[in-house]
Amino acid sequence: MATLEIHDAEGRVRFVELDRDHPVLFGSGAACDIVLDGEGILPVHGRIRWRGRRFKVDASPDAEFLEVNGRKIVSSSLRQGDELTVGPCRIFVIRLDAATPEPRADRVRKRPAKPVADEATKVLQGPPTGSSVESAVVAAPSRRVSAFERDDLLAALDLNAPSNEPSPVVGSYGAPRSTAKKKPGLLARLRQRWRGVRESEDAPGREVIAKSPTVLALAGLLGLLIAMGFWLNAIIARSIASRTYNHAIELLEDGDNPTAIREFDAFLAANPDDARSGKARTLRALANVRQYITISGATWSRALEAAGEMVETTGDLPEFRDEKSELGDLAIRIGEGLADRAKRTADPKSLAEAESAVSLHARIAGESAPAFLTKSRLPGLINEAKAAIRKVEARAAALAAMDRAIERNSASQVYKARDVLLLSYADLSKDPAIVERMVRANDLMKQAAKVDPSRRPAESSERPDPLGPPTSLVARSRIEAAPTSPAPDGVAYVLADGAAYAIDAQSGAPLWRTSVGLACTIVPTPVPGDPSVLTFDARHNDLCRRDVRTGRLIWRQELGEAVDATPLVVGGQVYQTLPAGRLLVLSLETGEVQAAVDLGFPVTRTPVGDESGRFLYLMGRKDCLFVIARDPLACVDVQYLGHAEGSIPCPPARLGRFLVVAENDRIGDGRWRVLVLDEDGAKPRAVQTIDVPGWTWDAPPTSGSSIWAISDRGGIEVFAAGDYASANPFRSLAKLTPDATTSGPSFGLAPTDREIWIASARPGRYDLDVEGGRLASRFMLGDLGAAVAPIQAVGRRRVLSFQSPGGGVRLRGVDPSTGRIDWETVVGAPWPTPLVPGADGESLAGVDQAGRRLLLPRSELGRGGFVTTLLPRPGDPHAPDGFLRNLSREGKELSLIVPGRGGREVWAEDAEASGGWTRSELPSTLAAAPLPWSEGLLIPGEDGRAYLIDPTSGRSIAEPLVPQFERDRIGRWLAPAALDGESVILADDAGRVRRLTVKPAPDRRILVEAEATLDQPILADPACTRAAVVLAMSDGSVRSIAARDLSPVGSWKLDAPLVGEPRAIEGRVAVFDASGGVSLFNPDGRRAWTSSLGVPAVGTPLIRKDVLWVLDREGRARGLAVADGREVASIDLEALPVGGLIAVGSDVLAPTGRGVLQPITLENAGGPPP
């Protein structure tokens, strides 16, 4: 039994009796036996139970530990006077009954009977009768009865007790006379003998005490008692030692390690030579290790020291092997605790201790240590701790570098130190210490922002153009004239292949075109309320203002660097950001630079203004948001946002006082950063972050109180703006679930707060049902391709821009009320077939996609303008992708549209056929481009044969060439090359070259006049002069063979891989390589010279007045002397060519873009070579 005294939080006291047979639960739950109330008390906090020979208290798994006598324990034995603390309650053990073992039967003895008091001493009689001696009778003095004279003591010693009969009368001279009837025992006889001897020697009262039998008996008994004392002492000592040892082990098992250590110390001090001393020392050392392994883990270092001490002091004992396994587990646990502490605190000392725990474990576990470590968390924790320490050290170094930079007033060095840190530890971007220093750096940057008041006037004339006016191809769904004076708000704009186009939004007709360079990404920006538009020319980095109707230049201002943002027009001023960190202020009227703010930090995208127009908000390329005051011009604030470089895809969107910054911060997803402007507008404050699935491509469209999130994964979500003081002011109204993968760029236009137009992979119009909380499609426009530009609301049309499948950009004008596509226009597309000289030599000829003839006279090409073709309608034939060729037949020229490799049909001109063309199927799929020859069309087939057919019917007009099959030389035909009017060269890529002719009679068939087999494969189509064939070989050489018998003429190694194929030009052959080398071969097949341009050449060259003109990939026309290859002239086209020069009569045209030709003057060209 035990009694507990319980004090609750309010000072009330109660008593509880404990029973050994009934465990007691205590906690705040109603089901507990002892219900305790107070903060920190769990429903089941612990239990008290009888175990073995004592009461024990255990903490519940939820509580993890209990506090007993001020110490945190998991389980402990209870002793009288112990104090348990549970939250605000205290429990005292005021009575504790010790365990009473049952008595053993073999130890039960009867208690000796209580001795009876001795009778009075009898006085012996005097001398015998007749004696002459007189003596008075004296009573014997009373004396204390000796223990050896007590019969009860003798009975307790299992000796024969003395008889109760009177003592025998002993005479003064005779032997004692016994009156006992039975034979006395041994002790009685001894006593009688001793008494007799004494009586025979000494008179009564005169005996020698030392010789007294009583004394002798007492001495013997005393010796026996001493011997029994030593024997009992040895038994007691062994019992005490065993009890102490067993108690220590029980305490060790119960987890009471400090008390177990005291018990083991007591055992060892009292029994140093006991056989169990080795085990006791081992267990004592183990308890010492255990006592430092606590829940809080605050004593891991002491535990490691104790474990090392245990190995040093007890490692050589045989008993150590029994505890080695547990000690190894404890060593791993200690190492894990130290490594975890090193990870949390980034403490190198703790890491070193954790690593020493690994060494200690190796000493303990021996060869099996690696296996145990592999199964534990210790190696991983050590690596994580090392990483944490490296991270902390890197952070400390970065902070120190940032502090030094702040002391030097260098904001750029602060940013540099942060960037270096975040390259390795991106999660530290939100570290408070880093952010605090970034804010200080932002203040430095704000202070460093300077206003440059210097002015610079603009130019009003166009830059000189080395080329003439461009002739551009435009394909339309309907052809009608554009209005002579369209409304300023009725013009749409588009970028395509390095040019900006203005399109009439009512009809889709092109109005004007201006070159802006392939690097330009800025769509022309119309000026609100003004018949002008702002464009950017990336060739010269000019900002231009042009007339909406004609494209005429009003002014141009050189910016000095490329830009990535459209200009912002506010009032009569134009604000243009420069990526290097400047904001230019220009006059809209004159283009003059009025001032500039030099922020000294890279910026991006177009600034956005507040409601009052007093402030502009400009995004830094990374990290920062700048607030610029317009009057006076100054940087008034810098906010640190922490965005990554290049993650801002568009300008911020403003909705009232809300500023929404779209950020593509992850590989496939993005987010919005919602900021609230103060009432003055000078101080933005971040309030909300919204995740956006997918990437944002344009500023989120806004209307009324709604803002729309549109991503490239097809998701749409509309938010309603709430109170400015709210922590999460944007609330979702409805959304469409996004796709799992991206479907291309997506742009939106919100005419009203309940209507959204989308240009994406699924374009259309969606309406918001606020009451139902859903988005419904009003109409869908179908699969139009990939969107390339924002939607334009122009007049009564919505103009959407998409990539055209054949190249260029396709614009569509949509009626917003019906969703019907009114017109389609394609700009920047290539010519449907490559243009070739017309039959008259004064024009270029081609066909459109439906096979309609195109004829471009030289006069029109000189004036420039638009060449308009009709887009194929549903059901129209589609001309094969190939080339326009002329076939001389019966004195007439027959036009053919021949396909390239893989083609299956040929179109032949037929005035009587529908559409003007007859389509004929080829006898075999083409292995290479066919060649008009011998009044037919030579077909190099995929089946290895060569056919000569009538292109108007597809019938064979000669027996085909069937080469002999060679298993080790299986090749594919290359394009045939005309040698003269009667012979052609036909080669395959396996290295066989044949000269073919047609035998006219009796059966017309193709003959092989000569054949050669080369030792290398052929890389490209051959080129011929009248006397030689030039071949590019796979070993990087160019070979020339004689056309007459195909015998070798020579071989020359190229400096770099071949570019294109050898090109025949006016009886010569030109070969280009990737290093910019140009080799010219004479008509006899021998190389005339090799010259290096430094840049690879493009297209077919042209010879004019003994000068070989070549276009290079950097947009320059290079003139090389035919005689020796010396460069004699160079012209900068200011455009990248898409092919070679084209001669039309005496004029020369340069293809400066897809579907664009511009005249170039070569005769007067000069100037030093580049």
| 13-25 tens-digit pLDDT | 899 998 888 899 9
Model confidence at 398: pLDDT above 50? yes
Confidence of residue 1167 (pLDDT cuts 50, 70, 90): very low
Q: Is 856:843 a contact under the CB 8 Å cutoff?
A: yes
DSSP letter for each residue of 45-101: -EEEEEETTEEEEEE-TTT--EEETTEEESEEE--TT-EEEETTEEEEEEEEPPP-P
To the nearest whole percent, how much of the chain has pLDDT over 70? 89
pLDDT of residue 1164: 56
Q: Is 303:334 a contact under the CB 8 Å cutoff?
A: yes
Model confidence at 111: pLDDT above 50? no
Written as one letter, the residue type at 654 is: R
DSSP, res 914? G
Model confidence at 419: pLDDT above 90? no
pLDDT of residue 47: 92
Return mean pLDDT, the chain: 87
Least Cα distance to 1108 among 1126, 1082, 1135 occurs for 1126
Confidence of residue 1039 (pLDDT cuts 50, 70, 90): very high
Is the peptide bond between 632 and the residue preceding it cis, with omega within 30 degrees of 0?
Answer: yes
pLDDT of residue 293: 84
* Planar angle of CA 841, 844, 845, nearest 5 degrees: 115
pLDDT of residue 265: 92
pLDDT of residue 65: 87
Confidence of residue 195 (pLDDT cuts 50, 70, 90): low
Q: What are phi and psi of 775, to 5 degrees?
A: -110, 130
Q: Is 1063:1078 a contact under the CB 8 Å cutoff?
A: no
Least confident window among 19-23, 824-828, 1027-1031: 19-23
Least confident window among 123-132, 377-386, 828-837: 123-132
Q: How far apart are CA 800 and CA 83, in angstroms?
A: 82
Structure-token pair, residue 723? 């109170």
pLDDT of residue 273: 87
Confidence of residue 1077 (pLDDT cuts 50, 70, 90): very high
To the nearest whole percent, how much of the chain has pLDDT over 90? 61
pLDDT of residue 165: 44
Q: What is the mean pLDDT of residues 941-967?
A: 91
Q: What is the mean pLDDT of residues 917-941?
A: 93
Model confidence at 1032: pLDDT above 90? yes
Is the peptide bond between 23 and the residue preceding it cis, with omega within 30 degrees of 0?
Answer: no
Comparing 426 with 500, the larger pLDDT belongs to 500
Confidence of residue 98 (pLDDT cuts 50, 70, 90): low
Q: How far apart are CA 1113 and CA 1060, in angstroms?
A: 13
Distances (CA, A) of 911 to 56, 332, 850, 869, 916: 113, 95, 15, 20, 5
Q: What is the mean pLDDT of residues 366-391?
A: 91
Model confidence at 341: pLDDT above 50? yes
Structure-token pair, residue 3? 């009694």
Q: What is the mean pLDDT of residues 1131-1155?
A: 92
Query: Which residue's structure tokens are 């547990």?
Result: 326
Dump pLDDT digits (tens) for 23-35.
Answer: 999 999 988 999 9
Confidence of residue 732 (pLDDT cuts 50, 70, 90): very high
What letters, b where the CB count within 10 A reaches 16 and e where it falls short, cover 425-449? beebbebeebeebbebbbebbbebb
Partner residues linked to 172 by β-bridges:
none
The contacts of residue 421 (CB under 8 Å, 6+ apart) are 394, 395, 398, 428, 434
Half-sphere exposure of 656 (CA within 13 A, CB side): 17
pLDDT of residue 996: 95
Model confidence at 1083: pLDDT above 70? yes
pLDDT of residue 913: 79
* Cα radius of gyration rounded to whole Å, the chain: 57
End-to-end CA distance of the chain: 110
pLDDT of residue 815: 94
Dump pLDDT digits (tens) for 204-251.
Answer: 455 566 666 778 888 888 888 898 888 888 888 888 888 989 998 898
Please classify residue 621 by burial: count the beta carbons closer than 10 Å to its beta carbon, then call 0-12 exposed, 13-18 middle and 19+ buried.
buried
Comparing 255 with 764, the larger pLDDT belongs to 764
pLDDT of residue 102: 43
Dump pLDDT digits (tens) for 469-496.
Answer: 999 999 999 887 666 678 888 999 999 9
Model confidence at 145: pLDDT above 70? no
pLDDT of residue 176: 44
DSSP letter for each residue of 663-695: E--SSS-EEEEEEEE-TTSS-EEEEEEEEESS-
pLDDT of residue 191: 67
DSSP, res 973? B
Written as one letter, the residue type at 656 is: G
Q: How far apart are CA 832 and CA 658, in angstroms?
A: 50
Least Cα distance to 444 among 640, 688, 724, 670 occurs for 640
Least Cα distance to 1005 among 957, 952, 937 occurs for 957
| β-strand pairing of 865-870 with 471-476 | parallel
Written as one letter, the residue type at 687 is: V
pLDDT of residue 1166: 46
Highest-scoring range by mean pLDDT, 40-54, 156-170, 623-637 = 623-637
Model confidence at 120: pLDDT above 50? no
pLDDT of residue 125: 37
Q: How far apart are CA 1006 and CA 983, in angstroms?
A: 10
Q: How far apart are CA 926 and CA 900, in angstroms?
A: 7
Structure-token pair, residue 1125? 């290859």
Dump pLDDT digits (tens) for 55-80.
Answer: 899 998 888 889 999 888 888 888 88
939 Cα distance to chain centroid: 56
Q: How far apart are CA 1021 and CA 1032, in angstroms?
A: 8
DSSP, res 1033? B
Task: Show the beta-strand stretches assigned E in 344-488.
Answer: 450-452, 471-476
Q: Is 1054:1073 a contact under the CB 8 Å cutoff?
A: yes
Dump pLDDT digits (tens) for 491-505.
Answer: 999 999 999 999 999
pLDDT of residue 634: 94
Least Cα distance to 473 among 506, 519, 513 occurs for 513
pLDDT of residue 580: 93
Alpha helices per DSSP H over 408-431 = 411-424
